[in-house]
């Protein structure tokens, strides 16, 4: 017959069984809660679910979840539900962590939960426990200052993150008291909720980081495109910050000034930008949306004077400058105005002579001898020829510019052409011309144009030999080329001018060389014509000793 266990043993067993069941139930509840909370990554939904779970597990009339900001020592409400109503946490005031009394503050300070089954008694008691009570309208009352509370019991559980208290959950009941078991359960749920909130925060952060990375990438791409654009534009662009330091220097700025961005960036503009003082003084900075004003400033770069046209636009942090090299345009403008002055002068001289001679011939009272008449008529003839020549040069230069001049590709015997031309020109040149040419030297080109070049070179040789001296015309050839050279013993040309004399309208100052003027078009025309025949023209000269101009043409390939 089985022995009945004694009563106290039975009671003990029942207690153990009850405890185990309760623990199992709690474990099951927490497991379900973990799953349920883990399903969302939205913080508000985590709070809602947390509250749903609480509602199922423990009777309460209010719950407030607060976060604690350690740096500012502030307690902020994150979620509140009171007597069946949600209260917007944003409407609740932030509370300063107090060093005495407050129950929330105590939990935060100690990191331990609090269970108070006589809230009214506690706040009224000697310890002076402060308690914040929230009603369904969201009105916060600080107890005991504002009178008695209807709250009976409260549980305060710390929310922890890696051991640090980051918030408090406050659970209140108006009608019942709470047990240690209740507190244990709430602690378990709060732990799970804290984990879910942390995950949700990380997710929010991740999304925010992703969004800001995307935004940063978009800005970077835009910047890159802008930078590429700024790099590619033909205008020099640079940016000077308010404190005077250069922060941007594009490729064109490098090309125009010859200064690399490494030389300039992060340095004071006044130190590194050529002519900065003049630029800053003369270029007006446009601050609003109006059209920027252009200022032309001469700037000395690498020993050369450049004319740069600047505009400047103000930015909040500095000024963006854009500039363009207008040197060529300016030189052309200069040359044009020089040309007008020159041509007018050049035309006036022969015209005055023709006019004077004609008037003299027409005066009936003057009894002119026939030699005198012939002399005057000859003067009219030469000066008219000079007038025609100038007009011809101007017209030809403009036709060359417009691409209207074509040249023949004939087989031309340059030796023979030189002989004929020298014979014809000799009487008019007033200088002794020596010819050194083989019987024949065949080039490919345009006979008339080659002759025109030779006449021009002979004219110049005589014109720029004011103290006389012989002229030598020589023709030579090698496997590929035929060369026609005209050498004089005249004033010569300074090395710095030897390139420029082939430019349109370019003339060495006649006052310096004491030589007659001209239009500055002759050598330009010669160079252009030579180029069109696939040849070239060059000069070698020593000032004071003479010059040698050489026209080089391709040698004719057809049978000789």
The secondary element (H helix, E strand) that includes residue 538 is strand 536-542
The secondary element (H helix, E strand) that includes residue 74 is strand 74-82
Which of the stretches 28-36, 243-251, 415-423, 457-465 binds ligand ADP when contact is defined by CB under 6 A?
A: 457-465
Residue 120: strand pairing partners: none
Quote the crossing angle between the two packed helices 370-401 and 327-362, to the nearest 10°: 160
Residue 445: strand pairing partners: 410
Among 130, 149, 173, 547, binds ligand ADP (CB under 6 A): 547
Total interface residues for ligand ADP by CB under 6 A = 20
Confirm or reject binding of residue 508 to ligand ADP (CB under 6 A). Answer: yes
Token pair belonging to 28: 């099951």
Looking at the Cβ atoms of 239 and 464, the one nearer to ligand ADP is: 464
Looking at the Cβ atoms of 230 and 464, the one nearer to ligand ADP is: 464
Q: Are 129 and 101 in contact (CB under 8 A)?
A: yes
Q: How far is the CB of 421 from ligand ADP (least distance, A)?
A: 16
Among 442, 522, 533, 552, binds ligand ADP (CB under 6 A): 522
Which of the stretches 36-44, 251-259, 332-340, 517-525 binds ligand ADP when contact is defined by CB under 6 A?
A: 517-525
Which of the stretches 108-116, 238-246, 354-362, 512-520 binds ligand ADP when contact is defined by CB under 6 A?
A: 512-520
Confirm or reject binding of residue 507 to ligand ADP (CB under 6 A). Answer: yes
Cα angle 30, 32, 38 (rounded to 5 degrees) comes to 95
Which of the stretches 135-143, 188-196, 221-229, 500-508 binds ligand ADP when contact is defined by CB under 6 A?
A: 500-508
18 vs 258: CA distance, rounded Å: 92
Among 524, 530, 533, 550, binds ligand ADP (CB under 6 A): 524
Q: Are 334 and 296 in contact (CB under 8 A)?
A: no
Looking at the Cβ atoms of 89 and 520, the one nearer to ligand ADP is: 520
Please state, as a whole number, how many other Cβ atoms lie within 10 Å of the Cβ of residue 114. 19
Which of the stretches 213-221, 428-436, 444-452, 516-524 binds ligand ADP when contact is defined by CB under 6 A?
A: 516-524
Cα torsion at 250, 251, 254, 255 (round to 10°)? -140
Looking at the Cβ atoms of 445 and 522, the one nearer to ligand ADP is: 522
Q: How far is the CB of 418 from ligand ADP (least distance, A)?
A: 17
80 vs 104: CA distance, rounded Å: 15
What's the Cα-to-Cα distance from 451 to each of 413, 419, 482, 551, 554, rounded to whole Å? 11, 11, 14, 11, 16
Among 501, 533, 537, 550, binds ligand ADP (CB under 6 A): 501
Candidates 421, 496, 493; CA nearest to 459 is 421
Confirm or reject binding of residue 484 to ligand ADP (CB under 6 A). Answer: no
Residues making contact with ligand ADP (CB under 6 A) = 460-461, 464, 488, 490-493, 501, 506-508, 518-524, 547
């Amino acid at each position: 017959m089985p022995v009945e266990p004694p009563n106290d043993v039975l009671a003990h067993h029942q207690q153990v069984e009850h405890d185990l069941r309760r623990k199992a139930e709690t474990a099951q509840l927490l497991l379900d809660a973990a799953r349920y909370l883990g399903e969302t990554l939205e913080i508000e939904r985590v709070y809602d679910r947390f509250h749903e779970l609480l509602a199922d597990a423990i009777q309460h009339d209010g719950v407030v979840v607060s976060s604690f900001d350690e740096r500012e020592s502030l307690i902020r409400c994150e979620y509140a539900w009171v007597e069946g109503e949600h209260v917007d946490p944003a409407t609740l005031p932030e509370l300063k962590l107090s060093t005495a009394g407050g129950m929330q503050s105590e939990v935060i300070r100690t990191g331990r939960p609090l269970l108070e089954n006589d809230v009214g008694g506690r706040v009224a008691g000697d310890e002076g426990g402060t308690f914040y009570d929230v009603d369904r309208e969201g009105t916060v009352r600080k107890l005991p200052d504002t009178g008695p509370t209807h709250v009976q019991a409260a549980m305060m559980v710390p929310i922890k993150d890696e051991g640090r208290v980051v918030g408090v959950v406050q659970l209140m009941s108006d009608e019942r008291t709470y047990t240690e078991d209740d507190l244990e359960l709430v602690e378990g749920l709060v732990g799970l909720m804290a984990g879910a909130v942390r995950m949700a925060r990380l997710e929010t952060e991740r999304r925010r980081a992703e969004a800001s990375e995307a935004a940063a990438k978009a800005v970077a791409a835009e910047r890159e495109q802008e930078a590429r654009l700024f790099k590619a534009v033909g205008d020099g662009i640079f940016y000077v910050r308010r404190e005077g330091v250069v922060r941007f220097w594009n490729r064109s700025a490098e090309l125009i000034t010859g200064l690399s961005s490494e030389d300039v960036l992060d340095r004071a503009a006044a130190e590194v930008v050529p002519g900065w003082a003049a630029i800053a003084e003369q270029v007006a900075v446009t601050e609003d949306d109006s059209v920027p004003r252009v200022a032309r400033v001469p700037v000395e770069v690498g020993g050369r004077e450049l004319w740069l046209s600047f505009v400047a636009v103000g930015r909040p942090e500095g000024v963006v400058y854009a500039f363009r090299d207008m040197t060529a345009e300016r030189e052309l403008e200069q040359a044009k105005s020089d040309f007008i002055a020159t041509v007018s002068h050049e035309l006036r001289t022969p015209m005055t002579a023709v006019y004077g001679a004609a008037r003299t011939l027409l005066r009936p009272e003057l009894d002119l001898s026939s030699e005198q008449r012939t002399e005057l008529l000859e003067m009219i003839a030469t000066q008219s020829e000079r007038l025609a020549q100038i007009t011809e040069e101007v017209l030809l230069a403009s036709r060359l510019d417009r691409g209207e001049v074509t040249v023949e590709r004939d087989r031309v015997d340059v030796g023979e052409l030189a002989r004929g031309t020298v014979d014809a020109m000799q009487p008019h040149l007033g200088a002794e011309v020596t010819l050194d040419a083989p019987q024949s030297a065949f080039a490919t080109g345009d006979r008339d144009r080659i002759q025109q070049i030779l006449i021009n070179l002979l004219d110049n040789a005589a014109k720029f030999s004011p103290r006389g001296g012989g002229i030598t015309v020589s023709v030579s050839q090698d496997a590929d080329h035929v060369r026609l050279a005209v050498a004089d013993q005249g004033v010569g040309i300074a090395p710095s001018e030897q390139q420029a004399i082939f430019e349109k309208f370019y003339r060495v100052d006649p006052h310096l060389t004491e030589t007659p003027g001209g239009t500055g078009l002759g050598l330009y025309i010669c160079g252009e014509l030579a180029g069109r025949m696939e040849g070239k023209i060059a000069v070698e000269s020593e000032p004071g000793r003479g010059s040698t101009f050489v026209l080089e043409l391709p040698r004719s390939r057809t049978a000789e």
